[in-house]
Structure 1
Amino acid sequence: MTIDVAGDIIAQGLKLVLTISVVAILPSLMTGLVVSIFQATTQINEQTLSFLPRLVMTMLVLVFAGKWMLTQLLDFTLLIFEQAAALAG
């Protein structure tokens, strides 16, 4: 295994981690922003109001995008094993 191959594998892994993280976290962040603007406008400072919508949004994203996330992780895992088999002999 050369440094170039190891660097490519690490780069692919980091790209996959970032992609999956953005898909999981960005909707929650956007929901938190909307809720915080609502709280600032109405001056309602309820902790449940800021936590519950973000939790619900995160769960919805995991329900709807979970299959895609798992497929991406499985594809990457298969790619790593194929590359390991090719490098081993």
Structure 2
Amino acid sequence: MTSQLVLTMGRDALTLLLMVSMPVLGSVMAVGLLVSIFQAVTQINEATLAFVPKLIAAMVVFAVIGPWMISTLVDYIRRTIESIPSIVG
């Protein structure tokens, strides 16, 4: 196993991590921004008003994009496990 192979596998893993996590993080960030703007305009400082919409947005994104996320992760894990014999031997 060469150092180049290890770096390539690490880069692929980080790329996959970013690709899978971005839909959830992006939607939660957008909802948080909208709620913050709403709270600033109306001067309502309620903690649950900031938390509950983010939680609902994350659940909706997981429900819609969850199957794609799981299949992408399973494909990556399968490719990694199948490449073990060629890496070792």
TM-score (normalised: structure 2): 0.93
Task: Give the deviation of 1:88 after TM superposition.
Answer: 2.9
Letter of the aligned partner of 2:29 in structure 1? L
Distance across 2 between alignment mates of 1:40 and 1:33? 10
| Superposition map of 1:49-68 within 5 A | 49-68=49-68
Give the gaps of 5 or more residues in structure 1: none
Moved over 6 A (4+): none
Letter of the aligned partner of 2:65 in structure 1? A
| Superposition map of 1:27-38 within 5 A | 27-38=27-38
Q: Aligned residue for 2:46?
A: 46
**RMSD (Å) for aligned C-alpha atoms:** 1.0
Quote the sequence identity (%).
Answer: 37
Distance across 2 between alignment mates of 1:39 and 1:56? 18
**What secondary structure is seen at the aligned counterpart in 2 of 1:34?**
helix
Between Structure 1 and Structure 2, how many residues are aligned?
A: 89
Task: Give the deviation of 1:46 after TM superposition.
Answer: 1.3
Letter of the aligned partner of 1:41 in structure 2? V
Task: Give the deviation of 1:87 after TM superposition.
Answer: 2.1
Distance across 2 between alignment mates of 1:50 and 1:24? 16
Distance across 2 between alignment mates of 1:6 and 1:46? 47
CA deviations over 1:22-76 (Å, ceiling 9, x no partner): 1221100100000000110011111111111000000001111110110110011
Q: Confirm or deny that 1:79 pairs with 2:79.
A: yes
Q: Aligned residue for 2:2?
A: 2
**What secondary structure is seen at the aligned counterpart in 1 of 2:45?**
coil
